[in-house]
Amino acid sequence: MPVPLPSSRPKEAKLFRNNRSQAVRIPAEFELPGDRVVIRREGNKLIIEPVTRPTNIVELIAKWQNEAPLGPEDHFPDIEDMPAKPENIF
């Protein structure tokens, strides 16, 4: 899991238009890794996070759990997995 970076002081950034989209010029000290971000709104704040790809199954399951946590109404179905019967191959 990524290590949180230390907090930095707020800094004013420039907003501008890029065709029909509004864009923000991110100062160098706030540079994010990669070339894609996820953006979401929380109240009157915009949260911008780098897109990260899980590198192993544990990270993938943790990501899924954070995106859609299982609640008490969620459950795995009972599966009756009967052992295979031996076949006569002669």
Q: 3-state SS string over 30-79?
A: HCCCCCCEEEEEECCEEEEEECCCCCCHHHHHHHHHHHCCCCCCCCCCCC
Residue boundaries of the structural domains of the chain: 15-67
How many angstroms separate the CA atoms of 6 and 57, rounded?
Answer: 28
pLDDT given at position 1: 44
pLDDT given at position 65: 79
Tens digit of pLDDT at every position of the chain (90 positions): 455 566 778 889 999 999 999 999 999 889 998 889 999 999 999 999 998 877 888 888 888 877 777 777 777 788 888 888 888 888
